[in-house]
Every structure is written in C-alpha cells, then in structure tokens.
Amino acid sequence: MWKVDAKGSESKKARQIPLNASALWILGQLESKGVSPFLFPSPVTGKPYVTITRAWYRIRAEAGVEMRIHDLRHSFASLPVTNGRSLYEVQSILGHSAPKVTMRYAHLSVGTLKAAANAGSVLVPQAA
C-alpha cells in the first residue's frame, strides 16, 4: 500500500492506495532500494525531486508521443473499467470523492461498448 498523508494529497485527506504487482516489481528494481529512504532521490542532493517535468518531456520525446502526464491517470482509470471492475472500485483507487469525477476519467473502448450492446441484443433467427 502507498500511504499518502493529508498534506501531500489533492483532497487534503490521508489515504492508502493499493499498488499492483507491476508497480511493486518496478519499485523493487530501483537503484535506490536499500540505499536511500526515497524512491527517486536526486543524484546531486540525495533528496526527492520536487517535479518530474524535465524527465517527463525527455521520456515523451524518446517515445514519440504527445500526452500530458495527467493523461496517464485517465488511461489507468479506463483499463480496470474496461476489464470489468466497478466504477466504485476505480473511484476508490483514484481517491475521487464523487463517482461523477471518475466517470469523466474512465473512457470505455469501442470493443467494450460493442460487447455491452451485443449483451443486450435479441438473437434473430436467420430466414431460410
């Protein structure tokens, strides 16, 4: 669990965020593991970075994509909903106080919408 204290939270409420297996694996690979109390210490100061803007622009350029870092949050919200998780679960993970906010984040894929439409269809026998 990732513990976020109230002053570091946008909602100003302390909360715990469950980390998935992929995130835990990546964190386990960090060079700072066992060396620093911080996950991403600055090699110059040893303290945590204040912003990741420069790194984000470099990563975007190398990947050849134009997206804001906040777009990753939207993508993350869409994946569990598309894979059958409830909006309430995603709302809890993202720390939204209202489901309406989460609904703006969770964009369903065309394939998911087609599957939902087909689930509500009535089979019509083919005419012989």
Does 23 fall in a domain?
A: yes
Q: Is the dihedral of CA 55, 77, 10, 14 positive or negative?
A: negative
* 50-98 residue pLDDT tens: 888 998 999 999 999 999 988 888 888 888 888 888 889 999 888 888 8
Report field, pTM of the whole predicted structure over 0.75:
no
Q: Note down the domain range covering 33.
A: 1-37
Does 99 fall in a domain?
A: yes
* 1-57 residue pLDDT tens: 888 888 877 778 888 888 999 999 999 999 898 889 998 899 899 999 888 899 899
C-alpha distances in angstroms, 13 versus 3, 9, 52, 104, 113? 11, 6, 23, 21, 35
Question: Domain tally for the chain?
Answer: 2
On whether both 73 and 116 belong to a single domain, the answer is yes
Does 80 fall in a domain?
A: yes
Give the Cα separation of 76 and 109 in Å (integer). Answer: 13
